[in-house]
Amino acid sequence: MSTIEQQDNQNNILQELDNPIRTNEIQSQVQHVKEIASYQIDAKFEKNIKQAKVQQDFLKNIDVYDNGKYFYGLTEQMFLKIFNFNESQSQIEEIISKKFPQPLYDSIMLKNKSDQDLVVVSIKNQPISIYKLQNNTQNAEEESLIPKNSLKNVGYLSSQKKNTEIYQTPLQFKYDDNKKQLFGVGKQFIINYDLNKFQIKDSYEKFVKSDILSCFDIPKQNSADYSKYQDIVAFGKFDKKIEILDYKQKKIINQFGLHLGGITCLKFDPLDSNYLYSGARKDDLIYQWDLRKQDTFVHYYQRKCTTNQRIQFDILDNTLAYGHMNGDISFVNINTKETLVNQKIHEDCVNTVKLFQKEDKKYCISTSGQRHYKINDESDTTDSDEDSSDDEIDMEIEQSQQQSTVQKVNKNISKQQKEKVVKQDDSLKLCLVQI
C-alpha cells in the first residue's frame, strides 16, 4: 500500500471520529484518576559538543520493576535514573542517577539466578553494560542506618559484528519471564543473550541492509493461545512494516502494516496472544491486529502524535493506556472499546505510560517531554518539524527516504539559527496515578 493510500485510509478513519454524537458519547464516560505522587525532572541545559546543541533534559521512557518497587528510565541527556516510591510520604524519590558518555537506547531491570537486581543498559557503539543494584547502609548521626544505593558493573555483553569494530546495539530489550531469556533488537538483528555466561546465545540476522528493527514484543505466558505463539516474536521496523518471526524455526511467517511512519511500539494483548497492538511515529492511530487474520486491522484508537519521538502505550488486563501530545492520558477498555478515563496529567507530550498492579490496586506511571526548537523567527516548533528522532540511529532510515519540500526547507536552516526552547513549567515530571 502506497503512502498516499495509507493517508487516505487514515483520513477516512479520522472523519468517523469527528462525529459529534460519538464525541459526546466518549465525553460522557470520562471519569477521573487520582494522582498519588510526582517527581520534577531536573530540566538543566547542557551543551552537547558533538551535536553543538543545547538540550533540555527529560525522561524519554519509564518502566516498572518488581511490581512497583522501582521505576527506571533514560533521559535525553544520557542519564540512567532509578526511582522508588515512598508511600509514607507520598513521594517518588530518585535513588540512582548515572551519566553515560554516549547516547542510551534502552535499559531493563531483572533478577539473575542469585536473585540479585541487575540493570542492563544499551549504549551507542559500546558493549551492553550490566550493573548490579546494591543497597548498602552507612552509619549516620545518632547511630541510625541510612540506605545508600549504587550501581556496580559486573560485566559486558560484547556483540561486535564480524570483521568490524561496530557493536550491535539494541534499540529495545525484552525479557521472557517464562524462558528466562533476554532479547534485543536493532539494526538488522534479533539477539538472544545469555546473562549468566555474558555472551550471545542465539541470533537471527537475515535482514536487508536498510532494515532497522525499532521495537518488538513477545506473547505473555498464560494468555490465550500462548502455546501456539510461545516461539513468536513480533517486531516493527522504521520502514513502517510489522513482521512476525517464528524464532524456533528462524522464519518470518507474516508481514503487514498500515502505519504512516516507522513503528515505535508493539504490545501483545496480555490475556489473548491472538491480538497485537501497534503504534508509529507521526501517526495518530493505534491499531489492533488479529494474528489469525493479518489482512487488516480489527480496531483502532485515536491519539495525537505528530512527533518522531517514541510514544509508548501499555496494556494491563483489559485496559489500554496511551498518551497524547497535549499531556492527556486515555484509558480504554479493549473489550468494550469504551473510553474509561481521558484526563490531563502533564503539560507536554506524554512519551511513556506504564501500567502495573500492586496488591489489589492498579497504577499508571507516566513521563512527559520532547525536543523543542526555536527557529530564527522565534516561533516554537517540536521534534516533528525536522527530520530527527529520539535515537540517533533512527535518522539513518529517515535520511535514506524521500523527503517532502517542507522537510528539505527545515533541513537547510542552519544550526546557528536553531536553539532549544527554555520551558519553565511542570511538564517535565514523572507522575504516578491510581486508576
Residue with the larger pLDDT of the pair 335 and 370: 335
Lowest mean pLDDT among 13-27, 44-58, 208-222, 347-361: 13-27
Predicted confidence (pLDDT) per residue in 348-381, tens digit: 899 999 999 998 899 999 999 887 665 444 444 5
Please answer whether residues 334 and 327 qualify as being in contact, where contact means their C-beta atoms are separated by less than 8 angstroms: no
Please answer whether residues 218 and 229 qualify as being in contact, where contact means their C-beta atoms are separated by less than 8 angstroms: no
Please list, residue by residue across 292-301, b when 16 or more beta carbons sit within 10 angstroms of its beta carbon and e when fewer do. Answer: eeeeebeebb
Query: Could you give the dihedral angle defined by the CA atoms of residues 358, 360, 361 and 367, in that order, rounded to the nearest 10 degrees?
Result: 30
Per the structure block, which three cell numbers stand in for 227?
502455546
CATH code, residues 3-434:
2.130.10.10
Residue ranges of the domains in the chain? 3-434
Whose cell is 477498555? That residue is: 333
Model confidence pTM above 0.95: no
* 160 pLDDT above the threshold of 90: no
User: Taking the CA of residue 361 as centre, how many other CA atoms within 13 Å lie in the half-sphere pointing to its CB?
Assistant: 11
pLDDT at residue 11, as a whole number? 61
- For range 143-165, the mean pLDDT: 79
pLDDT at residue 296, as a whole number? 79
Lowest mean pLDDT among 50-54, 66-70, 349-353, 354-358: 50-54
Predicted confidence (pLDDT) per residue in 229-283, tens digit: 999 999 999 999 999 999 999 999 999 989 999 999 999 999 999 999 999 999 9
pLDDT at residue 338, as a whole number? 93
- For range 423-427, the mean pLDDT: 45
